[in-house]
Amino acid sequence: MDIGGSGIKGCVVDLERGELVGERLRIPTPQPAHPDAVCDVVAEIVAGFDWTERVGVTFPGVLKKGVAHTAANVDHSWLGTNLAVGVEERIPGTVTTLNDADAAGIAEMHYGAGRGREGVVLMLTFGTGIGSALFTDGVLVPNTEFGHIQVDGEDGEKRASASAREREELSYHEWARRVDRYLDVLEAGVWPDLIIVGGGVSKKADKWVPLLSTRTPVVPAQLLNDAGIVGAALAAAEGIHN
Ligand code: BGC
């Protein structure tokens, strides 16, 4: 299950192949996205698959032992709420919860662009915000929040997320300049061996990735929209959680 600001999506996942089994279910995120309303939708989707086993659930903020510690792009009533408990109360199976970008990163490391890559790999997801997942020799350092580094006095994701491009009607060229500046500041503090860029805009990677001037090689994600769901399932199966 992948909880996002606009939609909540779920599917059964084939963990051998890292692929969805059949069609995913998507229900718009209730507005306001209060914890009870969101957990109800998660349970509805799980019931839609008649699923009684373990479930992995992502959240677009910092989670520690299931509890939300930040809520940059979701309702602030999430702060201090235990997502794992909220979902577990409503479904038959047990629940593993983790940050959405950490889940997408886990999927890319296992099945996609990071497969077999050692050293330090940084996955960044460009969407409503900027999510990050940091790996060292394939092991996740959970809850990095590189979307919120300060870039020229502003929250990084405010200027360089994919939603900033849409909101301000920027061309890929204009937006790439902002991403480049964002990565410049990020690279002052971390020295990854590879950066994987994900989120919907990674489908159009040829329009902006070649314009970047990073010292670190940048490659597009391979799992695209399904990375969060696949990573959630893998995390549930392997007991990786935030
Ligand atoms: C949140 C991260 C999240 C990212 C992508 C950011 O605003 O702070 O936790 O991974 O958005 O949803």
The model's confidence at residue 241, banded by pLDDT at 50, 70 and 90, is: confident
* Pocket, ligand 1, Cβ cutoff 6 A: 60-62, 70, 72-73, 99-101, 125, 127, 129, 131, 145, 147, 157
| In the chain, where the domains are located | 2-102+226-238, 117-222
**Is residue 156 left, alpha or beta, with left meaning phi > 0 and alpha meaning psi from -120 to 50?**
alpha
Gap from CA of 131 to ligand 1 centroid (Å): 4
- Which residues are CB-contacts of 175 (< 8 A; sequence separation ≥ 6)? 160, 164, 165, 208
Mutate to test the pocket of ligand 1, among 29, 73, 83, 132 (most ligand atoms within 8 A of CB): 73
Question: 2-102+226-238 in CATH: which number?
Answer: 3.30.420.40
117-222 has the same fold as 2-102+226-238: yes
The pLDDT of residue 242 is above 90: no
Gap from CA of 117 to ligand 1 centroid (Å): 24
The pLDDT of residue 225 is above 80: no
Q: Is the CATH code 3.40.190.10 the one for domain 117-222?
A: no
**Ligand 1, closest atom to CA 129?**
11
- Give pLDDT tens digits for 98-147: 999 999 999 999 999 999 999 999 999 999 999 999 999 999 999 999 99
Gap from CA of 101 to ligand 1 centroid (Å): 7
The residue-averaged pLDDT of 7-13 equals: 97
- The residue whose CA has the least distance to atom 11 of ligand 1 is 129
